[in-house]
């Protein structure tokens, strides 16, 4: 259990660090990449909570999140290129 | 089994933290993308397989393994699209970068390649 707790702390730290890049990051593409890492860490938090509290329902959330997660990045990429492909 | 799962979870979390540090410290979008996509995908795969072992539920473990497969299928797509959009949108390369193999390709008016 202690290892899962350490993992949770590390992943939340990763979320905070990449949020810093979202705030700083000069271009929109930087922000899109950083939001991608934020999303990855949210998925990781779901999985860790599922393992920690024996909540099998979180597995569904992880599955759906990893399916639709890249759609946000793709639509942000459309914004970065200002509508042009 | 459980110690293996705990080590997997810890290594995965460490990889995600490394990816975040890379996103913060590397000098331009393309290098940051390299940290974000590769390290974070591997970290997610480790964490999900650790959680699948820790969960005493066969159905949930199968769901987590399917999620790993989807992660490896979708993360490269996202990275490719964002890198292409950044180059087309005129995001500058790092000042110490020596080669730009796409030089001139971005300015063609009717590029047949879409997305």
Q: For residue A32, is it within any domain? A: yes
Whether the Cβ atoms of residue B89 and residue A29 lie closer than 8 Å to each other: yes
Between positions 32 and 61 of B, the ones with CB within 8 A of A are: 32-33, 36-37, 40-41, 43-44, 47-48, 50-51, 54-57, 59-61
B19 touching chain A per CB within 8 A? yes
pTM of the full structure = 0.86
- Report chain A's mean pLDDT, rounded to a whole number: 87
Closest chain B CA to residue A28: B86
Q: Return the higher-pLDDT residue of A85 and B98.
A: B98
ipTM of the complex: 0.89
Q: For residue A53, is it within any domain? A: yes
The pLDDT-based confidence of A54 (bands split at 50, 70, 90) is confident
Cα separation, B9 vs A49, in Å, equals: 12
Mind telling me how many Å the CA of B99 is from chain A's nearest CA? 21
Domain of A33 in residue numbering reads as 2-80
Q: For residue A85, is it within any domain? A: no
pLDDT string in tens for chain B (115-residue length):
788 999 999 999 999 999 999 999 988 888 898 888 899 999 999 999 999 999 888 888 999 999 999 999 988 888 888 888 888 777 778 877 777 777 766 555 555 554 4
For chain A, the domain total comes to: 1
Whether the Cβ atoms of residue B32 and residue B23 lie closer than 8 Å to each other: yes
Q: For residue A75, is it within any domain? A: yes
Q: For residue A58, is it within any domain? A: yes
Q: Name the DSSP class of A27.
A: S
Cα dihedral A25, A26, A28, A30 sign: negative
Q: What is the pLDDT of residue B83?
A: 85
Sort out which chain B residues have CB atoms less than 8 A from A67's CB and list them: 67, 70, 74
Phi, psi angles (nearest 5°) of residue B101? -70, -15
Q: For residue A28, is it within any domain? A: yes
Q: What is the pLDDT of residue A83?
A: 61
Report the CATH number that the domain containing residue A20 is assigned in CATH.
1.10.287
């Amino acid at each position: 259990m202690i290892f899962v707790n350490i993992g949770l702390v590390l992943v939340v730290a990763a979320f905070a660090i990449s949020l810093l890049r979202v705030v700083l990051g000069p271009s929109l593409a930087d922000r899109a990449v950083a939001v991608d890492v934020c999303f990855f860490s949210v998925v990781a938090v779901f999985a860790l909570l599922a393992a920690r509290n024996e909540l099998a329902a979180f597995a569904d959330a992880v599955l759906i999140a990893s399916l639709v997660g890249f759609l946000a990045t793709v639509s942000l990429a459309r914004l970065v290129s200002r509508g042009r492909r | 089994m459980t110690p293996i799962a705990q080590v997997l979870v810890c290594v995965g979390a460490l990889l995600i933290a490394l990816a975040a540090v890379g996103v913060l410290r590397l000098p331009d979008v393309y290098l940051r993308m390299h940290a974000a996509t590769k390290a974070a995908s591997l970290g997610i795969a480790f964490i999900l397989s650790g959680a699948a072992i820790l969960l005493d539920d066969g159905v949930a473990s199968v769901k987590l393994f399917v999620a790993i497969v989807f992660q490896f299928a979708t993360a490269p797509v996202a990275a490719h699209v964002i890198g292409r959009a950044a180059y087309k949108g005129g995001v500058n390369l790092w000042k110490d970068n020596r080669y730009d193999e796409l030089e001139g390709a971005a300015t063609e008016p009717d590029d047949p390649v879409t997305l």
